[in-house]
Structures are given as C-alpha cells and as structure tokens.
C-alpha cells in the first residue's frame, strides 16, 4: 500500500508537477498568473496544455472536461477525448491551448434566471488557472468559470473570484497605511467542516422520500435517538471506519487536505474537516469532497446523505465555514497576537468584519437560504436565523474598554490545573467557544456556522468577502485623507465599536430570551428563504455588489429568480412525493392491517363467543380514526398544490408554498407518523427511523 506522502496530490497538475514539466519561462508566467493575477498569454497556454495532456495520459486519462459550478449548486462537466483523426485513418492525442482556456457548454439548459432563453444556447467556460487541474475517473478536469454569450456570470465561481479581487484591492489600501510595503496580495482562506449521515444502501432504496428529496418526509421517532449523547466522538464503527479510510485516500489523491473525522451528535452522523486553504481552492475542494463522499459510499454498500435535515427529531447537518484573511507574506490579519489591545492593525480588520456583518447581516442570512436549510436554522442544533457575532470575553472586554474610553487591564493567562498530578498543566485560552453563535471568532478566524451541509460555500464567501471589502474601502477612504493618522485611526475604531456593538453577543443563541433581545437591538429574524430573499434586490445590496464589480444588477436579479424558483420546486417535489407515498403505500398498508385486525376479531368471535377481542377492536378504532385523518390531510395537501397552479409570479408562489403547502405537509406527516406507531411492522411499507439510523455496524 502506498504511503500518504506518495498518493497525496498524485492526481493533481500541481505546482510541483508544473515546475518539473514546464519550461522555466512558462512556469514563471504561470506563477505570475496564479499569485499576482497576471493575464496568461495564449502561447503560454498552448505549452501548458500540451504538458497537461501528456501528464494526464500517463496517469490513464483519455478525456478532458471543463469542470464548472453552475447555479444548480453542484458541478457540471462535458467530456471530450484527446483523440484527433489523421489522414491515414488513425488518431493522435491532442489538446490545444484554445481547448484549455475556453469551452462552449449549452447555457440554456442550466438555471439562468432569465439570462438565457431556450433558443439562446451559447455559453462559455473559461479556465481558472488559480485552481489546479486534476484527474477524476480517467478524465482531466479543468476548473473553469461559466458565463453566458452576453458575458453574465452563470455560475458560483465567477462572483467568488471577483469578490476575492475586491477584498484584495481594499485590504492592500489599508495595509499600506500601516507601512506594509512588502505585501503585494491579500487572500481569504477557508476551511469548511462537512457534516453528513451514513446509512445502509439497501434500506435507502426502500425509501422513495430519500431517493427523490434527500430527506425522510415520514418517520416516527425511534425509542432511542441522541438523548444519551453517546454517539458524539464515540468509537467509529468498523464499516464506517473502512469508508472513511477509503474516502481519505481518494481525497488525498486530489490534493484535498482531509484532516479530521469523527462521529457527530446524531446517530449515523459524522464530520470531516480539512486544513484551510485559499477560498477559491477550498470551494472547489468542498464540491469535490461532497461528490466523492457519495461515490465512495456506494462502494461500501452505503449512502451518504448531505441534506440539511434528513431526519426529524435528531440534529441536522451543517457546514462550518472557517474564514480568515492572510497576506502573501504569511501574516494572518485576524491573529490578535499576545497583546491584541495594542495591535491596531488587528483591531481595524476585526472592526471591519464586525461592521460588515452588522451592515450586511440580511445578505449573510440570504447567502445560506435554501428550502433544506430552513428546516435546520434555529432548531436548537444550529445557530438561530438571527445573525450575531461571538468574540469571547477578552476581545469583548477590549472593545468595551475602547468604547468607554477606559484603560484595559491585560489578562494574565491562567494555567489549567485538572487536579491530577501526572497530568500536564497548560495555559488556559482567554476565550471559550460558542457553538450556538452564527458567526464566532475562534482564535484567528471567524467560524460562519449557518451554511447547510449540501450548500456550495461559494455563495456565503463571496457575500462575506464583498461586505468586508466595502467596509475596508470606507476605512481606507477615511484614513488616507487624514492629517493625523493615529488620531483618526483611534477615532475610527472607537466609533465603529460604538455603532456596531449591537451585533456582538456571547451568550446562548438557542435561548428564546436572546431572540427577544435581538429584536430589541433591531436585529432581523429572517426564518425562511422567502423572508430573506427580497433583501437581495434592495438598493443597498445592489450598490454593494455593483460598486465592487462582483455582480451586475442583471446578475443579481437572475440569482434572485433562480433561488426563489428553486425553493418552490424543491417543496413541490417533496409534496408530490408525500402524496405518492401516502396514497400508494401507506393508505393501502393501513387498510390491509385494518382488515387483518377485523378478520382476527371475527375469527375469534366465531370460534368462541366469550373470547376477548379488546386489542383488535380498540386498535382497529385507533387505526381507523388515524387513517381517516390521514385521508383528509392528503386531500388538503392535494388542494394546496392545486391552488398553487393559479399563481405564476415567483415571489408570490414561494410565499404561498411557505404559508400553505409546507403547513399542509406538516399536518400530513403528523397523521402518517401517528399511524406508524400503531401499525404492525409487518404491514408498514417503509424502513423505520430505527432501521435507518442504527443499522450500520
């Protein structure tokens, strides 16, 4: 078996591979493009393409594809072989610079929010040289951006790259004011923790709701769930451990820095966390991670569920987005240092993030809004839908001292003593961790805990990057014109803290008292996707994205339409699946069980008049009442869907689904789940929650 160091990055056209295979001048040109954003000449691209093709063929690749991330939230690829015909009827293997830098997928068959009509099919994929090409399934995959024939972004990657450019520009302005002349670029970095469920494939295939929607639409709670908290960080079961080992190997081959794996809180739930890397690459890697998690699971007779709430009554799955800002000289701009109260550069960047989160909290909430994530946010397992910032005791005390104008007394680092002599003493951190906060400072980064497990992290990160870029621009505009830089800097920091301290909250985000307190502070509680989507079209939001050239007004409107339409489509599929399961399986099963109860009671009475049939008759009454209720709730959902056909406007339709279809679905589920508790397992048509959550050993 190969060692980790041998397989790591073996399927990636990485920096070391380029250095080995490219002429020195070509390699230097590539480095300038990757590190400094310089435009790549087509002649250089041709040399790179040839070297890339030779390397890929040596690795067993026969095809290439432009790998991109359309607005579906997953990746897309169209494969072309390297073969090119010759005059003698044979073929040669070719790959040109033109094929490397540009592709032409059909732009009308992806979500476009009206940017492309069916008859307007042309679109382009453009090579992103800042993200390394890789080989997957014998295909050379070239990371690309995706745009329409008229130039609008049709993907998740393009706005992200634009936002990274925006924050780089504004951060450099601020850093120059502090005398950082050696810094030439600033990049955001991300490490996304990925939660997921693992269940048995045979059971999965007996659940139409899991197959069609990714979550269980019916299911009563098992006798045991997560109450004992015995699954979290528990011993990993052998079958799951084998899966994780295989998964690590596949990820490492693609240069994905898979680092940490463990059991999560809910039964059958797990987490994988990578080492952080540049945001663009982190986004690409996370998309690959989700795909490979599902692919490897199949090999082991398992299914990986990435839905935010696949099971009611136990924790759902999130994706914690650990975000920071670093310079090309190796400085983490969110590193407080030993004396953060004296670190003005750290404080100005900290204040920029706090102000950005406060000013654009609706957009941050919007960036994680999906029909699936609406089930999770605020459910005592994930952050509430209210945005707040956790800083911890030390930083909060520092900012409070600055705000009040009082001197700050430095904290002496306390030594942790556990009371057992043989155990080592070590410095206690000056701040705790807060797992209930949506946006928590965790030492030298912020952990944005609201993204859902299936979400592309491109969205949250381009919103966060752009919001922080805007605040850094405001800070630079003010400080560049200051006569007394130090006095202006101190005044700016103090004013920012005073104006935005409402967003700082270090307490329990799950507590209902906080929701009431947040309301008093003027912090919005946008619980659902239709609640928060309209803020995307507000003048403030449009100005933010257009002024930094991250999204045009047309691109903003198209994304609004795409997300709103996706919301109703997802719920419609779920509702239709519920009706199908209820009508074709649950009702017939319950009817058959009722007949069995009735037949048993009749046969008992015919055998001996004095026989007690209380169990059969009382159970029959209970089942009959619940079945009648199920039937009426099914009819109510049918009617709600029928009524929705009268609505054509996207926003109005989404609101109708939120206010009418979802409640009808909830009512139908209550009736079905009650029936599951009283119907014989022999007759119930679907694997139970107990089967699904506890079957993998």
Which residue, of 155, 185, 210, is where some domain finishes?
Answer: 155
Q: Are residues 608 and 539 in the same domain?
A: no
Contacts of 646 (CB under 8 A, 6+ apart): none
- Which CATH number covers residue 460? 3.30.590.10
310 lies in the same domain as 265: yes
What is residue 607's predicted lDDT score, i.e. its pLDDT? 66
Do 410 and 269 share a structural domain?
yes
pLDDT band at 86 (very low <50, low <70, confident <90, very high): confident
Distances in Å between the alpha carbon of 299 and those of 215, 381, 454? 21, 31, 21
Backbone angles phi, psi at 432, to 5 degrees: -85, 180
Given this model, what pLDDT does residue 423 score? 52
**Domain limits for position 425:** 163-551
Of 155, 178, 194, which marks where a domain is finished? 155
pLDDT-wise least confident of 106-120, 359-373, 511-525: 106-120
**Burial annotation 573-587 (CB, 10 A radius, 16+ → b, else e):** ebbebbbebbeeebb
Please give the share of the chain, as a percent, with pLDDT higher than 70. 94
| 321-344 average pLDDT score | 92
Asked if residue 379 has pLDDT above 80, the reply is: no
174 and 145, same domain (yes or no)? no
Sequence-distant contacts of 620-624: CB under 8 A, at least 24 apart: 620/594, 622/678, 623/590, 623/593, 623/594, 623/597, 623/675, 623/678, 623/679, 624/594
Comparing C-alpha atoms, which of 691, 665, 692 is closest to residue 374?
665
Q: What is the model's pLDDT at position 411? A: 57
Q: Are 533 and 564 in contact (CB under 8 A)?
A: yes
In a domain, 559, yes or no: no
- Number of separate domains in the chain: 3
Percentage, residues of the chain above pLDDT 90? 75
Q: Residue 561 falls within a domain, yes or no?
A: no
Residues 574 and 475 in one domain: no
Distances 11 to 132, 139, 412 between C-alpha atoms, Å? 10, 10, 49
On whether both 511 and 533 belong to a single domain, the answer is yes
Secondary structure class of 13 (helix, strand, coil): coil
Give me 448's structure tokens. 């944005």
Strands 123-127 and 258-263: what pairing? unpaired
pLDDT tens column, 150-177: 788 999 999 999 999 999 999 999 999 9
- Strand, coil or helix: 561: helix
Query: To which residue do tokens 């399927």 refer?
Result: 11
Per-residue pLDDT, averaged over 242-247, amounts to 97
* Domain co-membership, 181 together with 225: yes
DSSP H helical ranges for 214-278: 238-253
How many residues does the structure list for the chain?
A: 697
Between 114-123, 431-440, 621-630, 680-689, the lowest mean confidence (pLDDT) is in: 114-123
Flag whether 558 is in a domain: no
* C-beta of residue 125 within 8 angstroms of C-beta of residue 68: yes
**505 lies in the same domain as 382:** yes
Select the highest-mean-pLDDT range: 90-99, 134-143, 405-414.
Answer: 134-143
Give yes or no for residue 431 having a pLDDT over 70. Answer: no
**CA 351, 283, 209, 673 torsion-angle sign:** negative
| Residue 691, token pair as written in the block | 């089967």
> Average pLDDT for residues 237-261, to the nearest whole number?
96
Residue 556 lies in a domain: no
**Contacts of 615 by beta carbon, 8 Å cutoff, 6+ apart:** none
Question: pLDDT digit string (tens) for 271-303?
Answer: 999 999 999 999 999 999 999 999 999 999 999
pLDDT in tens, 613-643: 889 999 999 999 999 999 999 999 999 999 9
Q: Is residue 426 very low, low, confident or very high in pLDDT (cuts 50, 70, 90)?
A: very low
What CATH number should be reported for the domain holding residue 669? 1.20.120.1560
Query: What is the full DSSP assignment across 382-439?
Result: S--SB--EE--HHHHHHHHHHHHTPPPPPPPPPEE--S-TTSPPEEPPSS---TT-SE
CA distance 468 to 163: 10
Q: Note the pLDDT of residue 97.
A: 86
122 lies in the same domain as 264: no
Q: Are residues 254 and 139 in the same domain?
A: no
Q: Helix H segments across 40-156?
A: 42-58, 97-101
Do residues 179 and 275 make contact, with C-beta atoms less than 8 angstroms apart? no
Q: How confident is the model at residue 394 (pLDDT cuts 50, 70, 90)?
A: confident
């Amino acid at each position: 078996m190969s060692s980790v160091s041998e397989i790591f990055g073996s399927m990636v056209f990485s920096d070391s591979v380029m250095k080995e295979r490219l002429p020195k001048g070509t390699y230097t040109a590539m480095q300038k493009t990757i590190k400094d954003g310089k435009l790549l000449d087509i002649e250089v691209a041709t040399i790179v393409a040839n070297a890339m093709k030779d390397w890929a063929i040596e690795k067993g690749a026969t095809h290439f594809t432009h790998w991109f991330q359309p607005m579906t939230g997953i990746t897309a690829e169209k494969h072309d072989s390297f073969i090119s015909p010759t005059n003698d009827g044979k073929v040669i293997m070719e790959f040109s610079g033109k094929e490397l830098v540009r592709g032409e997928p059909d732009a009308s068959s992806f979500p476009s929010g009206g940017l492309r009509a069916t008859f307007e099919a042309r679109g382009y994929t453009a090579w992103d040289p800042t993200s390394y090409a890789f080989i997957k399934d014998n295909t050379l995959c070239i990371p690309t951006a995706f745009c329409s024939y008229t130039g609008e972004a049709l993907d998740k990657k393009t706005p992200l790259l634009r936002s990274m450019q925006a924050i780089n520009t504004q951060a450099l302005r601020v850093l120059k004011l502090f005398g950082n002349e050696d810094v030439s670029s600033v990049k955001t970095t991300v490490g996304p923790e990925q939660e997921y469920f693992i269940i048995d494939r045979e059971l999965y295939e007996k659940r139409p709701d899991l197959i069609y929607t990714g979550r269980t639409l019916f299911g009563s709670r098992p006798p045991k769930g997560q109450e004992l908290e015995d699954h979290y960080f528990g011993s990993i079961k052998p079958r799951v451990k084998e899966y994780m080992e295989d998964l690590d190997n596949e990820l490492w081959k693609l240069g994905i820095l898979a680092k940490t794996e463990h059991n999560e809180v809910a039964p059958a739930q797990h987490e994988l966390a990578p080492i952080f890397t540049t945001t663009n690459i982190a986004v690409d890697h996370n998309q690959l991670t989700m795909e490979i998690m599902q692919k490897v699971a199949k090999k082991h007779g398992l299914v990986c569920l990435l839905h935010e709430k696949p099971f009611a009554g136990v924790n759902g799955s999130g994706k914690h987005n650990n975000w920071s800002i670093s310079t090309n000289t190796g400085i983490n701009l969110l590193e407080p240092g030993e004396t953060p109260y004296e670190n003005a550069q750290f404080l100005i960047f900290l204040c920029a993030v706090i102000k950005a989160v406060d000013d654009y909290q609706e957009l941050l909430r919007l960036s994680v809004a999906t029909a699936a994530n609406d089930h999770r946010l605020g459910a005592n397992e994930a952050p509430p839908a209210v945005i707040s910032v956790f800083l911890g005791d030390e930083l909060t005390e520092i900012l409070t001292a600055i705000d009040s104008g009082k001197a700050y007394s430095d904290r002496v680092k306390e030594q942790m003593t556990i009371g057992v002599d043989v155990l080592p003493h070590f410095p206690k951190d000056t701040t705790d961790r807060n797992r209930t906060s949506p946006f928590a400072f965790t030492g030298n980064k912020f952990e944005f805990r609201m993204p859902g497990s299936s979400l592309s992290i491109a969205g949250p990160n381009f919103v966060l990057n752009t919001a922080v870029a805007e605040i850094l621009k405001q800070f630079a505009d003010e400080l560049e014109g200051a006569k007394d830089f130090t006095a202006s800097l101190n005044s700016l920091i103090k004013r920012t803290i005073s104006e935005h301290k409402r967003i700082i909250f270090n307490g329990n985000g799950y507590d209902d008292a906080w929701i009431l307190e947040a309301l008093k502070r003027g912090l919005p509680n946008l619980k659902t996707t239709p609640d928060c989507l309209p803020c995307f079209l507000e003048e403030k939001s449009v100005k933010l994205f257009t002024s930094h050239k991250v999204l045009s007004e047309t691109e903003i409107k198209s994304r609004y339409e795409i997300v709103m339409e996706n919301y109703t489509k997802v719920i419609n599929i779920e509702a239709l699946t519920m009706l199908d399961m209820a009508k074709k399986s649950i009702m017939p099963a319950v009817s058959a069980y009722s007949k069995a109860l009735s037949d048993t009671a009749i046969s008992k009475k015919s055998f001996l008049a004095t026989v007690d049939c209380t169990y059969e008759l009382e159970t029959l009454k209970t089942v009959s009442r619940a079945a009648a209720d199920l039937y009426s709730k099914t009819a109510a959902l049918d009617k709600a869907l029928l009524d929705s056909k009268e609505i054509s406007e996207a926003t109005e339709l989404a609101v109708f689904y939120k206010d009418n279809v979802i409640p009808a679905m909830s009512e139908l589920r209550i009736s079905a789940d009650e029936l599951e508790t009283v119907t014989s397992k022999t007759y119930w048509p679907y694997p139970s929650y107990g089967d699904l959550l506890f079957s993998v050993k």
